[in-house]
Structure 1
């Protein structure tokens, strides 16, 4: 199913801003299937998941139609980006749940950029992260170092000293002795992860 023409979109958006009670139904009919097809084709997710992300994007627009600025982008692009970000958020949530409940290195997440114009980069990044997981698992690293690398990879840019100490099995040490060890190990393992990531990237070129 093709997306609506520019003229149709303009009319639909005008109706959304007005008192037209049928506008949301018509916008849903016009955009739902094209959004689902785009998500399935770009991110290779299931149609079930794509339906959820597309619906989220449309309902976000319905709640605040004046949040869309026609001078900034097309309505199609606006909705597609919301749906892509919903997919990204779901990916991150599922990844963290998988890491907690199963093998923590099944799918490693280092917070790839949220999909914007470069959806191919988003897909490529997730594939590279899976390769990084495999490389760590097969690297023969001590269990505590693998656990510490997991802490780094799951951090939001700020590694928890307490979590790193537990992973490195040095929580029992006095604070004055523990902190320098955590910092030195964190920097060393960050360098190792960057090296492994670059190695994987170069292998795939």
Structure 2
């Protein structure tokens, strides 16, 4: 039997970023994990993690793809990208693993795809940050940022502002092998879902 500590936040959102960083750093100190994957839309959260962990681990910042909100526009601040890379992190951008192409069919023809049901289930049962963390594990592996080994993934709840409020330890899987993904540990999450 193994006993682990889980950090729970009263509310979701960016106010939890520093506490999540502390939880992730503490878990890294156990020495059995070398990959940390962090969701960051603009690069601000990625920069926070890069300052602390960029030289200590394989830090991969996963951003949304260009065109997520405005066609042809990437929301990631290029100055943040440069700073993250200077600090030892990598930045990748991918189509969202749990929506991507299927979302365009939903938007055009209505209905809902299997991926969207999965995404909504993760958000509803656990938290939006949990959905993001699972999704970026897939995206980082598909994008070549990590190998298929135990990894810490950090997500957030975009509806309440940027930042991090969720951290998991996962065994990642590629998009085409999604059911091989396994959540090994819950490190931190908010009590609320919004």
Settle same-fold status: TM greater than 0.5: no
Which has more radius of gyration? Answer: 1
Calculate the TM-score normalised by the size of structure 2.
Answer: 0.24
Greater share of residues in strand: 2
Greater share of residues in helix: 1
Structure with the larger RCO, 1 or 2 (CA within 8 Å, 6+ apart):
2
Calculate the TM-score normalised by the size of structure 1.
Answer: 0.23
